Structure 1
């Protein structure tokens, strides 16, 4: 497909009153409202009724990433507070799942609050208590220009995941304009979260309960899981005049062979969340690379728009990938993607999307526009006029073009 013309960004800068932003989650996850968009028509329901909206044979693909308490606070001897926000791993590995298992020391690229007050030779220290015993945590600047911070701790029997769990705070989205509270530790997490590494929740999944998942299975809806570790870049507004020049964030993905097999065989693919959709569409383009003997799993933001050839079907691509993985003895694919889905994109994998209501002017708004066309305006107007709650802790929608 050819590179699309630049979308008019004023189109997606709709007015979102502050009172429509859900600052807190509902008491019961599946009591959230569900806007049903099917073939241009809109209905209102409750999320607990989702199983009634999906046909047997459909496969839902969930992002099972787990949010880590990525905000670490240290206090200097002078009293100044330094906040370190974990962004992406640098050393000893770039693979997030392995980094979380490390017994130290580790280096991360970070955002640092009060960075100017932290001198290069100053080691920041905190004492944590683990099973009644003190553990010393230290942070030092490894590379100021690249904002790389090294962490080390006194007990090598403790993993970095445990250190972060003990010392960090939940990285709530900045637009909530509030500090994290004890409830957020559990509620800003899906009930099926498993793989540590995200610094933002895949919020479409926050509405699911064990009961809803069970009902879906009983109805013959298949449940499958993949991993995309959501980065802080998901909140980055588009500042470029030409959206195509937006510095799209890169995120790490992990997919096992069972997921590839499901994609090759399922009748209908519905992505739970924009992160799952980005992963699934990126997988297709990785499959195209593999068919050309290119094993580099690093999907560039405009790569899907660079091909004008007739391309194989979803089933053909994933069948090839399945056979390639079996031949190579590969059980898990690890890669990264910065795919930019905007109006003009041709969807290769996803036929449905479960998603929340997104920030004005965001890349996620462009994705929704790309998926359901100009009807996105009708969907958002309906949500605004019918008391839907917006953003991360807000209500949900299922989009079935």
Structure 2
């Protein structure tokens, strides 16, 4: 591909392919295995993933935990308003999407029973809010699971558990690292029995991951910053790996951010790395990921790893075989 146009990452995805609910069991979602060297595909069930890995392989997982980032309040006029927190780093001034945004002005208050938040700035379609109490306290009182907007249904009680991975331990994300949603303790136990090690990293997923690409030349897109950490113990495990298997695009972005040649180094900070075709990977040998929506930075990363043509052929085959797409959908293992 000589030019990297946004339209090159578009494809037809009828809404019925977008999963509204997770599979009944985490590890019984479908798994499409794609071999980059031959272009061959295999159709499996997720728990079959254990058959592809052995001693010396290391799975790199994102241990972030989703915050209850969506809540509802009332405007001073009494009208209902929905708030989605977009980031969690600066607790004094929190970015958010507010619906409806029309007629909302700086200084306006959104009331939450005995608490409130105040609009301190408005830029494009996002606002910054200041809260009457600690953000943790507010979200604990009023927050709901922030399912993505393309999952068009009401929340059900099981979403609170199913929209977290079994690795989730550090609060900070407004969306789940969805490739990790397929794992169960049983699958992890079988992998470990095969000699596979699990190393965790942290990337707090914010709106930056999902912010739409608005420029036709995708190289002009700027990713927002997201907080990450990789501890010394995890770096040691990863650096001893025969193969490094990134679980999800967020794990990829951490590994490539902290790359020091073919090794990774312990580090914490923020990253805005944007990976698209032409990128040379340094520390990822295999990738487990879900099926991504058209024209997203997530799809661009996957195309960078396996090649656009191969990915688009695999997506076409996935649709033919009724795979389910997006956050609650099925998985793809790229070897």
Q: TM-score, length-normalised on structure 2?
A: 0.91
Alignment of 1:141 onto 2:119: yes
Partner deviation per Cα, 1:348-374 (whole Å, 9 max, x = no partner): 000000001000111111111111113
| Equivalent residue for 1:379, pick from 293, 306, 314 | 314
Contact 2:57 2:196 in 1 (8 A): yes
Partner deviation per Cα, 1:291-314 (whole Å, 9 max, x = no partner): xxxxxxxxxxxxxxxxxxxxxx31
Aligned residues: 330
Tell me by how many angstroms 1:220 deviates.
0.6
User: Which residue of structure 1 aligns with residue 290 of structure 2?
Assistant: 356
Tell me by how many angstroms 1:41 deviates.
1.4
Which stretches in structure 1 are left out of the alignment for 5+ residues? 100-105, 128-135, 154-158, 288-312, 323-332
Contact 1:70 1:168 in 2 (8 A): yes
Q: Partners of 1:121 and 1:277 in 2: how far apart?
A: 40
Alignment of 1:25 onto 2:12: no
Q: Partners of 1:387 and 1:115 in 2: how far apart?
A: 37
Contact 1:173 1:235 in 2 (8 A): no
Mark the CA change 1:33 to 1:121 in structure 2 (over 3 Å): closer, same or farther.
closer
Contact 1:35 1:42 in 2 (8 A): yes
Higher alpha-carbon Rg? 1
Which stretches in structure 2 are left out of the alignment for 5+ residues? none
Q: Partners of 2:29 and 2:292 in 1: how far apart?
A: 16
Alignment of 1:314 onto 2:289: no
Tell me by how many angstroms 1:393 deviates.
0.7
Alignment of 1:147-162 (within 5 A): 147-153=127-133, 160-162=135-137
Q: Partners of 1:243 and 1:213 in 2: how far apart?
A: 37
Tell me how large the CA RMSD over aligned residues is: 2.0
Q: Partners of 1:231 and 1:56 in 2: how far apart?
A: 34
| Equivalent residue for 1:236, pick from 191, 204, 211 | 211
Q: Partners of 1:123 and 1:380 in 2: how far apart?
A: 45
Contact 2:199 2:238 in 1 (8 A): no
Contact 1:47 1:207 in 2 (8 A): yes
Q: Partners of 1:195 and 1:358 in 2: how far apart?
A: 25
Tell me by how many angstroms 1:162 deviates.
4.3
| Equivalent residue for 1:214, pick from 189, 202, 218 | 189
User: Which residue of structure 1 aligns with residue 7 of structure 2?
Assistant: 10
Partner deviation per Cα, 1:260-280 (whole Å, 9 max, x = no partner): 212322221000001111111
Q: Partners of 2:31 and 2:112 in 1: how far apart?
A: 44
User: Which residue of structure 1 aligns with residue 271 of structure 2?
Assistant: 337
**Which stretches of structure 1, 4 residues or more, deviate above 6 A after TM superposition?**
none
Tell me by how many angstroms 1:116 deviates.
4.3
Contact 2:76 2:109 in 1 (8 A): no
Secondary structure of the structure 1 residue equivalent to 2:132: strand
Partner deviation per Cα, 1:363-388 (whole Å, 9 max, x = no partner): 11111111111311221122111111
- Structure with bigger helix share is 1
Alignment of 1:85-164 (within 5 A): 85-89=84-88, 94=90, 99=91, 106-127=92-113, 136-144=114-122, 147-153=127-133, 160-164=135-139
Mark the CA change 1:344 to 1:75 in structure 2 (over 3 Å): closer, same or farther.
same
Secondary structure of the structure 1 residue equivalent to 2:65: strand
Contact 1:30 1:209 in 2 (8 A): yes
Deviates more, 1:170-179 or 1:142-151: 142-151
Q: Partners of 1:256 and 1:391 in 2: how far apart?
A: 30
Contact 2:72 2:81 in 1 (8 A): yes
Alignment of 1:248 onto 2:223: yes
Mark the CA change 1:78 to 1:399 in structure 2 (over 3 Å): closer, same or farther.
same
